[in-house]
Structure 1
Amino acid sequence: MAMAAMDARKKKSGGGGGGEPLLGKYELGRMLGRGTFAKVYLARAVAGGEAVAVKVIDKAEVMGTAGMAPRVLREVAAMRRLRHPHVLRLHEVLATRARIYLVMELATGGDLLSRLAALPRRRLPESGARRVFVQLVDALSYCHARGVAHRDVKPQNVLLDGDGNLKVSDFGLAALPDTLRDDGRLHTACGTPAYAAPEVLRRRAYDGAKADAWSCGVILFVLLAGHLPFDDSNIADMCRKAHRREYELPRWVSQPARRLVSRLLDPNPDTRVAVESLAAHHPWFKRSLSVDSQLDGLLNGEPERAVAFQAAPPPPLNAFDIISMSPGLDLSGLFGEHDKSLREKRFTTTASPEKTLEQLGLAGGKLGYVVVVGKKGVECLPLAGGRLSSGIAAMSVEMSEVAPPLLLVELRLEVAAGDVDGGDGEVKGFGWEQLRMELGDVVRAWHSCEDLCEI
Structure 2
Amino acid sequence: MQMRTGRHTVPVPQGYRIGTWEVDAPLASGTFTTVYAAHRTHGTPQTAALKFWPTHTRTPHRPDPLQGLIRREVELLRHLRSPRLIRLYDTLTAHDPRHPQLDGATALVLERADSCLHTTTTPPTSPDAILTQICEGLTHLHDAGWIHGDLKPANILVMTDGTVRLADFNTAARLEGTHAYAPPFTSRDHTPPEQLWPEMDERGTRVQPSVDTWAFGVLAHTLLTGDHPLPGTTTAARCDAATRYARETRQLQLSPALPPTWQKIIRDCLARTPADRPDTRTLLHHVRHASHHR
1:43 corresponds, among 38, 44, 47, to 38
Alignment-mate amino acid for residue 284 of structure 2? A
Moved more, 44-53 or 268-277: 44-53
For residues 191 and 207 of structure 1, what CA distance do their matches in structure 2 show?
Answer: 12
1:268 corresponds, among 268, 273, 279, to 273
Alignment-mate amino acid for residue 53 of structure 1? A
For residues 276 and 243 of structure 1, what CA distance do their matches in structure 2 show?
Answer: 28
Q: Which residue of structure 1 aligns with residue 50 of structure 2?
A: 54
Asked whether 1:84 is paired with 2:89, we answer no
Alignment-mate amino acid for residue 239 of structure 1? T
For residues 290 and 193 of structure 2, what CA distance do their matches in structure 1 show?
Answer: 30
Counting only pairs closer than 5 Å after superposition, residues 227-376 of structure 1 correspond to structure 2 as 227-232=227-232, 233-234=236-237, 235-244=239-248, 246-280=251-285, 282=286, 284-286=287-289, 289=292
For residues 179 and 280 of structure 2, what CA distance do their matches in structure 1 show?
Answer: 18
> What SS does the aligned partner of 1:246 have?
coil
The normalised TM-score by structure 1 is 0.52
Counting only pairs closer than 5 Å after superposition, residues 138-177 of structure 1 correspond to structure 2 as 138-177=136-175
Q: How many residues align?
A: 261
For residues 253 and 28 of structure 2, what CA distance do their matches in structure 1 show?
Answer: 35
1:100 corresponds, among 106, 113, 120, to 106
Query: With CA pairs under 8 Å and 6+ residues apart, which has the higher RCO, 1 or 2?
Result: 2
Which string of whole-angstrom CA distances, capped at 9 and with x for unpartnered residues, describes residues 367-403 of structure 1? Answer: xxxxxxxxxxxxxxxxxxxxxxxxxxxxxxxxxxxxx
Which string of whole-angstrom CA distances, capped at 9 and with x for unpartnered residues, describes residues 190-238 of structure 1? Answer: 4211111122124267553111011101101101220111245153443
For residues 31 and 274 of structure 2, what CA distance do their matches in structure 1 show?
Answer: 33
For residues 242 and 225 of structure 1, what CA distance do their matches in structure 2 show?
Answer: 23
For residues 16 and 291 of structure 2, what CA distance do their matches in structure 1 show?
Answer: 52
Q: Which has the larger radius of gyration?
A: 1
For residues 185 and 210 of structure 1, what CA distance do their matches in structure 2 show?
Answer: 10
1:186 corresponds, among 180, 183, 187, to 180
For residues 34 and 175 of structure 1, what CA distance do their matches in structure 2 show?
Answer: 22
For residues 202 and 75 of structure 1, what CA distance do their matches in structure 2 show?
Answer: 24
Which string of whole-angstrom CA distances, capped at 9 and with x for unpartnered residues, describes residues 430-449 of structure 1? Answer: xxxxxxxxxxxxxxxxxxxx
Structure having the larger proportion of residues in helix: 1
RMSD: 2.8
Alignment-mate amino acid for residue 256 of structure 1? T
Asked whether 1:15 is paired with 2:12, we answer yes
Q: Which residue of structure 2 aligns with residue 424 of structure 1?
A: none
Seen in structure 2, the aligned counterparts of structure 1 residues 14 and 239 have a Cα distance that, compared at 3 Å, is: closer
Seen in structure 2, the aligned counterparts of structure 1 residues 270 and 14 have a Cα distance that, compared at 3 Å, is: closer
Seen in structure 2, the aligned counterparts of structure 1 residues 285 and 56 have a Cα distance that, compared at 3 Å, is: same
Seen in structure 2, the aligned counterparts of structure 1 residues 132 and 76 have a Cα distance that, compared at 3 Å, is: same
Unaligned runs of 5+ in 1: 1-12, 293-455
For residues 231 and 190 of structure 1, what CA distance do their matches in structure 2 show?
Answer: 22
Deviation at 1:161, TM superposition (A): 0.6
Seen in structure 2, the aligned counterparts of structure 1 residues 55 and 150 have a Cα distance that, compared at 3 Å, is: same
Seen in structure 2, the aligned counterparts of structure 1 residues 287 and 151 have a Cα distance that, compared at 3 Å, is: closer
Contact 1:225/1:249 (<8 A) preserved: no
Deviation at 1:72, TM superposition (A): 1.4
